[in-house]
Amino acid sequence: MKRDIFQAIADPTRRAIIVLIASQAMTPNALAEHFDTTRQAVSKHIKILHECDVLESEKEGREIFYKLKAEKMKEVDQWIEQFRQIWENRFENLDQYLADIQKDKK
């Protein structure tokens, strides 16, 4: 079952896992050490991230390392971009409004 990227980032634990593996590939055991939960709970989050196509796995001997597929995060960035433009326009309007108020006070 394929899930979408927004399901991946919906949970704080999954967001933390993404941050951890953004810098280096990690095993489920290594990831679990960073959380106050069971390895099985972390494995469920890894499974969801894998289904969302955010992680890719690479087997080295008996260990499985997970690494981030950063290009998948572009979907989030593209979705947020529309709001970034709205915010920037609002800030520009606020700057202009404040500049107008300053002129009127002089």
What H or E segment, with its residue span, contains residue 97? Answer: helix 74-105
This model's pTM is above 0.95: no
The residue ranges of every structural domain in the chain are 5-105
Backbone φ and ψ for 11, nearest 5 degrees, come out as -105, 135
Mean pLDDT rounded to a whole number for the chain: 91
Mean pLDDT calculated for residue range 3-23: 93
CATH class, range 5-105: mainly alpha
Q: Which two tokens stand for residue 104?
A: 């009127």
pLDDT of 65 strictly over 70: yes
Backbone φ and ψ for 71, nearest 5 degrees, come out as -60, -25
pLDDT of 4 strictly over 90: no
